[in-house]
Amino acid sequence: MLTPKYILLAFILLLNSVPVFSQNNFGIVIHGGAGTILKKNMTPEKEKAYKAKLEEAIREGHTILKEGGSSVEAIEATLNILEDSPLFNAGKGAVFTAEGKNELDASIMEGKTLQVGAVAGVTTVKNPISLARKVMENSPHVLLAREGAEQFAKEQGLTLVAPSYFHTEQRMKSLKKVKEAEKDKKGKDGKTGFYDADIQDTKFGTVGCVALDKQGNLAAGTSTGGMTNKKWGRIGDSPIIGAGTYANNKTCAISSTGWGEYFIRGVVAYDISALMEYKGLSLKAATEEVIQKKLTQLGGTGGIVAIDKEGNVSMEFNTAGMYRASMDKEGKLYIGIYEE
């Protein structure tokens, strides 16, 4: 008999079987680096400039997703804007190595296929995230480094620039500051060249983006100049899949920022996904567990942005601040810098 209870049950079953309800969900989250970002050290102009650039970038990605574009397309376009800005430690604003060079790293991952592409130590590629995408889509490999990666960029027709394109006054000042501290042995550890929070702050500022598209596909991308005063061809977590970047349609997409050595040791991005996949944790619980407990206990600093297959987002960090923004399918924009 068609009692109201059965009608309601039939209606619920019908709702769940209509794919359009889940397919229309989409969202995007970005970061512009984590560190000792304190309001007292920020001028209103600087804050405005950061927020404006974060908004410009995330709106670009959001529009692509809204129009039915893929999460990978949205990530590339969003990160290209941040790479072209001198405000962030990626592309144009990349930090200097100990030798006064700019060596850039990036990676991208597609959650549907688990395809990845990454590049490390490139010095002439204007947009390393675009090169990472080319590695993913047009090469049989997953990680290319240095001259070889540059040769591939040339063959793929990407924009190449003179290494001097990446030189900025601001980053040169940071290098000098870190070198001074190194000389004075002001740091906690004379061996590694890493110093107190004040100095560390001048080292961070990577950019990252995670997105869920209308097809239900997740993706993540990260681009960086690495850490100021890095030596001996040092590569951080940003081009390392599972540490700086990870995406899996079964769970979530993650991009990391912070002290890369710790993110590699903690396998941070993959660990978040694994906690969801194998232990059934929610995105929030998994990101809190890995950032606030595991990373913190290791002694690492930084944060992540993440989005799951339902469009839930997380922006978790254990530093004083993290440049970040998110936009949901309704176009609701959030921008944050400090802890809240």
Candidates 78, 80, 217, 224; binder of ligand ASP (CB under 6 A) is 224
CA distance 106 to 226: 10
Binding to ligand ASP in span 94-153, by CB under 6 A: none
- Cβ contacts of residue 299 below 8 Å, gap of 6+? 262
- Output the CA torsion 191→192→193→194 (10° steps): -130
Copy the structure tokens of residue 254. 């993650």
Does 202 engage in binding with ligand ASP (CB under 6 A)?
Answer: no
In the set 96, 204, 246, 317, which binds ligand ASP (CB under 6 A)?
204
Minimum CB separation of residue 256 from ligand ASP in Å reads: 6
Q: Which of the ranges 58-66, 121-129, 151-159, 199-207 carries the binding residues for ligand ASP, by CB under 6 A? A: 199-207
Is residue 227 at the binding interface for ligand ASP, with CB under 6 A as the rule? yes
Residue with tokens 């059965």: 6
Residues annotated as catalytic are: 206
Nearer to ligand ASP, 265 or 284 (CB): 265
311-340 footprint of ligand ASP as x/- string (CB under 6 A): ------------------------------
Query: Would you say 134 and 72 are in contact if contact means Cβ atoms under 8 Å apart?
Result: no
Examine residue 238 and tell whether it contacts ligand ASP (CB under 6 A).
yes
Size of the site for ligand ASP (CB under 6 A): 14
Residue from 236, 266, 300, 321 touching ligand ASP (CB under 6 A): that is 236
- What are the tokens at 154? 């040339």
SS3 124: coil
Q: Which of 206, 228, 245, 249 binds ligand ASP (CB under 6 A)?
A: 206
Query: Scanning residues 32 to 61, which ones bind ligand ASP (CB under 6 A)?
Result: 33
Give the residue among 231, 297, 301 at the shortest CA–CA distance from 259. 301
The stretch near ligand ASP (CB under 6 A) out of 55-63, 75-83, 219-227, 279-287 is 219-227
Nearest 5 degrees, angle CA 276-CA 280-CA 283? 45
Nearer to ligand ASP, 35 or 216 (CB): 35
**Does residue 174 interact with ligand ASP by CB under 6 A?**
no
Phi, psi of 335 (to 5 degrees): -130, 130
91 sits near ligand ASP (criterion: CB under 6 A): no
Residue appearing with tokens 């995230």? 129
| Contact range with ligand ASP by CB under 6 A, out of 72-80, 129-137, 186-194, 200-208 | 200-208
- Look at residue 133 and give its three-state secondary structure: helix
> How far is the C-alpha of 129 from the C-alpha of 84, rounded, in Å?
11
DSSP 95: P
User: Whole-angstrom Cα distance, residue 334 to residue 266?
Assistant: 29
Using rule CB under 6 A, residue 228 touches ligand ASP: no
Count CB neighbours of 289 within 10 A.
17
Shortest spacing between CB 92 and ligand ASP, in angstroms: 15
Cβ(78)–Cβ(55) below 8 Å? no
Q: Toward ligand ASP, which CB reaches closer, 152 or 204?
A: 204
Strand order in the sheet with 302-308: 245-247, 252-258, 302-308, 313-317
Is residue 309 a contact partner of residue 250, using CB atoms and an 8 Å limit?
A: yes
Task: Please name every residue paired with 304 in a beta bridge, in sequence order, or none if there are none.
Answer: 256, 316
Residue 205 is a binding residue for ligand ASP (CB under 6 A): yes
**CA atoms of 142 and 312, how far apart (whole Å):** 28
**Does 27 participate in binding ligand ASP (rule CB under 6 A)?**
no
Does residue 257 belong to the site contacting ligand ASP (CB under 6 A)? yes
Task: Please report how close the Cβ of residue 249 comes to ligand ASP at its closest, in angstroms.
Answer: 25
Closer CB to ligand ASP, 89 or 251, in the complex: 89
> Applying CB under 6 A, which residues contact ligand ASP?
33, 89, 204-206, 224, 226-227, 236-238, 257-258, 260
